[in-house]
Amino acid sequence: MTHVANVPASAVTATTSGGQATSPSALLEIHELTKRFSLSGDFLEQLRFKGGRLVRHQEHVHAINGVSLDIRRGEALCVVGESGCGKSTVARIVMGLLSPSSGEIRYDGQRIDHLSARQLLPYRKRMQMIFQNPYASLNPRMTIQQTLEEPLRLHHPDWSRERVRDKVVEVMTSVGIDPDWGKRFGHEFSGGQRQRIAIARALAVDPEFIVADEPISALDVSIQAQVLNLLMDAQQRHDLTYLFITHDLAVVEHFGTRVAVMYLGTVCEVAPTATLFASPRHPYTQALMSAIPRLEDDRPQHIRLSGEVPTPVNLPSGCVFHARCPHANERCRREVPSLIAREDGTKVACHGVEEGRL
């Protein structure tokens, strides 16, 4: 596994908005992605009387607003942020489970965001997803054997029954589940074991890219370590690339090659993990880092943010963070900051950092 410190700053690509710089090592590129969810229901429900006239009234949740990211082959890009910041939506759009409102997603140079389910099939074999809740992501009516055979049968219709069975035994062993348990159902396993099975299902088709959406959040501390180790082993063994969604910064520090911090549907900072933890630049990242309960100090000394996350229905003007930011000025309230690449390999979307006053 390549570690943060080994990545030369020159390898960091600058995908500033507008420009379409593509780096040869990028496995997945997300360009100016936006996603809105309608809150207004169907056409008839949108009609309102206003001033004696019938008007069409629409409201949207702006889940993602112009996110650009690239994920390089072999790295683990962690996306962190609080609930409602759009991190899971990004993961789902990447996997084709949701379609974007605008923007592009390129996988290995090919655009995949507008493909039909049939056209996506070859990509589905190369990219797999692990979900947060292993109690919900395993079909309760299927045995583990059936659960693990299903993706193999779908993606390898030409495989013989023996070959499929051998492969299932192989993946079960690799995640530390006894292959003799294949006849059992999901509910007979503990949370940690279920998550292992979900990982086995993702690994069954030998993918090169895995999207993991909070894969350890639902697990206990001692089990979290086991599953995290398993994910790291799998990365080494199969040369995997991860898009890792989490809210746990301690996990990010341990696991991530690079980190993208999201707030209210935008990326506010992207940086190599070590750099981000040593010197967070964006005021939101700083607040987030200081909020982690640490074992060492006696007293919480976190940067207190005033107020709460604004609703993504009525986005604030300018920088989405300005209402809670202690350093906000007139420009922050007016102008949306863009993600600007800096010399040290980080990218920060903050007027204050850009102007050099932070």
Partner 1 sequence: MSLLEVSDLDVRFALRQGEVRALRNVSFSLDRGERLGIVGESGAGKSVAAFTLLNLIARPGFIAGGSIRFDGQELTGLSDRTLRKVRGNRISMIFQDPMMTLNPVLSIGEQMIECLRAHRRISRREARTIALHKLRQVQIPSPETRLDQYPHELSGGMRQRIIIAIALLLDPDIIIADEPTTALDVTIQAEIMALLLELCEKHNVGLILITHDLGVVSQVTQRMLVMYAGRVIEQGPTREIINDPQHPYTQGLMNALPQMATPGERLNQIPGSMPSLSNLPIGCAFHPRCGFANDANGQPRRACREVVPEFVNSGNCRVACHMVAAMLEEEQRLAKEQTS
Binding site for partner 1 (CB under 8 A): 1, 3-4, 82-83, 190, 192-193, 220-226, 228-229, 232-233, 247-251, 253-255, 273-274, 287-288, 290-295, 297-300, 302, 304-305, 308-309
Question: What is the rounded CA–CA span in Å between residue 97 and residue 166?
Answer: 30
Other Cβ atoms within 10 Å of 340 Cβ, number: 16
Q: Of the two residues 150 and 248, which places its CB atom closer to partner 1 in the complex? A: 248
Tell me if 327 sits within 8 A of 357, measured CB to CB: yes
Distance of alpha carbon 133 from alpha carbon 248, whole angstroms: 16
Q: Which of 247, 342 has the CB closer to partner 1?
A: 247
Give the residue with the Cβ less far from partner 1, 22 or 217: 217
Please give the single-letter amino acid code of residue 71: I
User: Closer CB to partner 1, residue 73 or residue 124?
Assistant: 73
The least CB distance from residue 249 to partner 1, in Å, is: 7
Tell me the closest approach of the beta carbon of residue 10 to partner 1, in angstroms: 21
Q: Least distance in Å: CB of 291 to partner 1?
A: 4
Q: How far from 64 is each of 229, 232, 337, 347, CA to CA, in Å?
A: 31, 29, 15, 18
- Helix or strand holding residue 142 (H, E): none
Helix (H, G, I), strand (E, B) or coil at 74: coil
The nearer residue to partner 1, 6 or 110, going by C-beta atoms, is 6
Neighbours of 248 (CB within 10 A): 16
Taking the complex as a whole, the smallest distance from the CB of residue 274 to partner 1 amounts, in Å, to 7
Write out the H or E segment, with its range, that includes residue 176. Answer: none
CA dist 29 and 92 (Å) reads 14
For the CB of residue 299, give the shortest distance to partner 1 in the complex, in Å. Answer: 7
CB of 64 to partner 1, least distance (A): 18
| Residue the block writes with tokens 């169907």 | 42
| Pick 25 or 229: Cβ nearer partner 1 | 229
Residues 264 and 355: their CA atoms lie apart, in Å, by 23
